[in-house]
Amino acid sequence: MLTPILAVIVRDLRLALRRRSDIASVLFFFIIVVSLFPLGVGPEPAQLRKLAPGVLWVAALLATMLSLPRLFADDYRDGTLEQLALAPQPLGLIVLGKVIAHWLISGLPLTLLAPVLGIQFDLSGEALAILTVSLLIGTPALSGIGAIGAALTLGVRGSGVLVSLLILPLYIPVLIFGAGAVDATLTGTGAQAHLSLLAALALAGVFFSPWPSAAALRIALE
């Protein structure tokens, strides 16, 4: 069961590494959006500290959003997806592999970048740690849920904007618990509960969303 997943992950990573500029542009989008906020709201450290969790998390949401259309689009265009759909392995498992690969090339770099950006917002060491942990736990859910939107809008005109209309409302729980975890650390109430719920969302998101995504892919391939 694990072999097809692993094969898909390795394949997608190899393809992504051949086009590193795609990964880089998503990361730079994240950096730019986060850096715009202090310019918009002013440089007072106290205010920035208060805004930081929300800003970083919303920027992570938008950056993930930006990388979603490519999740299936290339494979759809060159016919690989049709081959994958015909493979004896369940399409859901293949999608799971693609979701994991997507997280490795978008969610994980975002997570690693976040503490650096958090310093710009004058976050304390503890808050930075919780921010990183919350992104580490939460971004897989973003990739998982996002896959549904990417699959539904495959080959549809205006799919870039459409996918955000479909998926951003579904991201709200992840945003609430992710940003809430950092916020709770800042106010000293402890992030434990938020992180547990975030982990639950991530598990549910990663392991359940491949099936509706696979169903949506089959519809797109019909």
Partner 1 sequence: MSDRLFNWYRFASPQAFYPLAGRMIPWFWALAALFGIAGLYVGFLVAPTDAQQGEGYRIIFLHVPASWMSMFIYLVMAFWAGLGLAFNFRLSGMMAQALAPTGAMFAFLSLWTGALWGKPMWGTWWVWDARLTSELILLFLYVGFIALQSAIDDPRRADKAGAILALVGVVNIPIIYFSVKWWNTLHQGSSVNLAKSSMATVMLWGMLLCALACWMYSIAVALMRVRRIMLEREKDTLWVREELAREAS
Closest Cα to residue 149, out of 76, 217, 93? 217
Residue 84 engages partner 1 in binding (rule: CB under 8 A):
no
Cβ atoms of 178 and 135 closer than 8 Å: yes
Q: Which is nearer to partner 1, 35 or 82 (CB)?
A: 82
Footprint (CB under 8 A) of partner 1, residues 122-151 = 148
Binder to partner 1 among 24, 156, 192, 196 (CB under 8 A)? 156
User: Does residue number 104 form part of the binding site for partner 1 (CB under 8 A)?
Assistant: no
Q: Using CB under 8 A, which of the segments 5-13, 17-25, 50-58, 209-217 binds partner 1?
A: 209-217
Give the relative orientation of helices 210-221 and 91-102 as an angle to the nearest 10 degrees. Answer: 110
Choices 9-17, 96-104, 124-132, 173-181; region in contact with partner 1 by CB under 8 A: 173-181
Q: Are 181 and 194 in contact (CB under 8 A)?
A: yes
- We find the least distance from the C-beta atom of residue 48 to partner 1, in angstroms, to be 19
Quote the Cα angle for 177-151-104, to 5°.
Answer: 55
Report how far residue 45's alpha carbon sits from residue 79's, in angstroms, rounded to the nearest whole number.
51
Supply φ then ψ for residue 88, to 5 degrees.
Answer: -65, -25
Give me the least distance between CB of 88 and partner 1, in Å please.
23
Annotate 53-85 with DSSP letters as a single string: HHHHHHHHHHHHHHHTTHHHHHHHHTTHHHHHH
Of residues 144, 153, 202, 206, which one binds partner 1 by CB under 8 A? 153
Q: For binding to partner 1 (CB under 8 A), which residues are involved?
A: 148, 152-153, 156-159, 162, 165-166, 168-170, 172-173, 176-177, 180, 183-184, 197, 201, 212, 215-216, 219-220, 222
